[in-house]
Structure 1
Amino acid sequence: TTVAERSLFFTVPVRKRFQKRVEADVAEIHKILTKAALCFPAVKFTWINGEKQEFSLGRDEPLLTRIATLLGQELSDNLLPIDFEKDRCKIAGFISAPSLHRPNRLGNHLFLNRRAVFSPFISYRFVEAYGTRLPVHRYPLFVCHLALPPEWVDVNVHPQKREVRLREERLVGEFLMEAVERALGKRPEVVMPPRFVLPEAKPLMLAEEAPVYHAQAQADLLLPLVEKKIRGVGFVGGYFLAERRPGELLLVDERAARMRIYFEKMTKSETKMAQQALLFPLSVEFAPNEARFIQAHSDLLNEVGIGIRSFGKNAFVVDSIPQPFENEEIHLLLERLIEDLGGVKSPAKKELAFSLCRLIKRKKLSIEEGEKLVEELLKCEIPHECPRGRPTYICLDEETIKKDYFS
């Protein structure tokens, strides 16, 4: 069977104006063909886009080989086989090792009775079977063919027959739990360390300055040499209490303040974002669809401090990251960007910065670092709220304290 598309809008040219950009359409075609190729591994697939051959899959090739071609070598290297049959239920395919997980369910490829479907119930059972092997709010990846009695499956739930409802949920749930637990039993039942870990010693690299290794020196780079006006009092949890002037206190949300500061640094074109040059560049690999997104926006990623360049098919090398993410895993940063902006037609620098700022975590600061943080915050264009609209600080003066707390 050969499917060819030519002159699609010849008779209705006005419809062409309402189409998304070419990259978005190619990504959607890739998604459809990936589902079809994984659903029917015995069928040969060749996809030619213009004059470029995107992939060519042989007939009757092993499912694992097809997964490596379509979803990436990293995934195929971290898969565990699953093959279990009980009563009238059967499942076969591959599930990810506990060390490989994603922040969403986009890596769930389920084929029920030779049909690509999505089932929240089945996805939840997979997560439940992994238990404490996975970190919180992380999801496994799998490519599984599930065979159930036809009378157990109601496919008339979604207009496109993508979602299904199961009549014997209890039996299916118990079957899936047992199957996944048996497959995971071949590996230690502990959360393995992250695949990509940043080196402990990380210099702070500005565009025109030499590396700086000391935490105090890094903090000094945040502010020009000005006379201090903020006097730190102390911390209450993640909130910093400081005196701005006699009789006036500021209660500052440390995380929200850092989000505002770095958001404005990332979005101002005249300001160069501070970067950390990694001592050992990291090699990361993505599925073809995700790699296409990274490749298309590599210049934008470099502008916000992620130094990334192509390194072969679907692989990239990262040699620097934005300064506020010194303790973050680069793979997690890129995954979140793909999740947040993968469906955006033309993501702008502001949208990219907003997505990155959401990943900033609370950080334990000294009194001196807290004072410098507040000084930097008060120099922002919008110091009173973070990019998400939450307040960065509240002002407490004598009148407010008397009115709100001791009236």
Structure 2
Amino acid sequence: MGLIRILSEKVASQIAAGEVVERPASVVRELIDNSVDAGATRIVINIENGGKTLIRVSDNGTGMDRDDLLLCAERHATSKISELLDLFSVRTLGFRGEAVPSIAAVSRMVITSRTLDQLGGFRLTLQGGKIKELEETGAPVGTTVEVRDLFFNTPARKKFLRSAATETDHIVDTLSRIALPFTALSFRLDEGEKTLLSLPSVESDQSRLSALFGHEVADSMIPMEREIQGLRLRGYLSPPEKDRARGDHLFIYVNRRSVRERLLTHAVIEGYGSRLMKGRYPYAVIFIEIEPSLVDVNVHPAKQEVRFHENRLVHEAVKTAVDDSLRQKTAALFHVPLPSADSVGERNGRIAEPMADYASYPGEATIPRPREFQVPLMIKESPVVLGQLKETYILCETKEGLLLVDQHAAHERRVYERLKKSYENSNLECQPFLLPPRVEFSPSETRTIQKKMEELSKVGVSLEHFGGETFVVRSVPNILVNVDWKFFLREAIPLLEEQGTVKGDQLVDRLLSLMACHGAIRAGQRLSHEEMVSLVENLGEVEVPTNCPHGRPVFKRLSFYEIEKMFRRIV
């Protein structure tokens, strides 16, 4: 007798359900999708014990008549498509006809529904996917699906569920994600007598963002909009300083469908670039509108993964849109800051030249003497440099309050952008040594250096293997000549070892960032007033004045309102 056998319908249904129903939040997602597709304007969710004991989803949608109610419990029964080609034009959230039968297969389910043209409704009772009863009942127009004892007949699945609190958190997150693009709909989530989330219908995205993220974050978010080759992008981005340790507040939608797609998440993070520190994430909401024929939403039964016909185009469009939006906002926030009305520059009837990022001789970060120049009127509206705090921070007064500038981060950003521009133009200035020094590394470091000498040469570090663990340094970039370039080399080694996980351009960028860090003004370095004015002025000339290349903030602001609240001048 052969070993291969046909699974029973019961076992096959339970296995299939595993692809759709992972936890209570999966049930909530599928049922809300159905409610949205049914044209509901009000959706109420009730749960008990984190959804493990009860999930009830009620809507005021079109409802189902008797025949449709019976069919909805059958696998692959759907009103959304009728042939394969329909998959490439589907605009509804659901279309596979698997959600209800999959949920029913692992629970005790009751569906009550009524259409507008019916005097009464019908109630369908199922257990483990089997129909137990169909009866007439009084009911409002719409549908209510009640799911009890999830995974009651699959104990192996049930034991993998987390605590009620954890499962509730997943349900709240799921509802939050679904609700964002559907501002015209109202949603409410209750657990027992307690309302966990209430999202009334609103006229604007801003109101929904405030309800989900809080007013402080929502009010600070930067709008984004872009259209390219049939791809329409819009969304909202938090400024880099409002970041998080987790990426759970990065919401991405494709044709209003909430998706968790690495390609798109990566594009958003790439768009932020060095504005974010490594391991930090923004608050972001990205809406992508694309022709259904150019995206495949049928990758997985859960419908949270998508594939694009042109992955590279979509990735680049999202990345560029994020970068451009942040760049425009920061330019507006920090509009060419110049010396102030009572700065040394105006008192002398002149202003300082921008700070030099390269040495008057190689490696020295110096500031040239000011040149004669008539002080423009706009200086009076620019930050007033007050002084230096702890020889690390530059204090400035603005029309809005107090501005604190991290002198190292500010200069590091300026140096980095100059280095990057020089590298891109193939004119990175290097200094050859007349008497090339030698430097020794550990055996493991030596192996890394030997493999990556070509990458180092791209950023101006020319090494020659002298034998054993010793290398001769032929030249280094000008910015490193008068700093501890040996320390730079040792700090560069971990970056070189990571090359397998980063692209060549990313490696060069990281090396230039490290180089800028070593070549910039240090914390604890005393600056003259003219040097401070010049450093603040230069922030208006860089592309990304808000963060250093490693993502640390360049400046922070304290408004007069906050200051007056601290001194209780206002309540």
TM-score by shorter chain over 0.5: no
Larger radius of gyration: 2
* Greater relative CO, 1 or 2 (CA 8 Å, sep 6+): 1
User: How does the TM-score come out when normalised to structure 1?
Assistant: 0.43
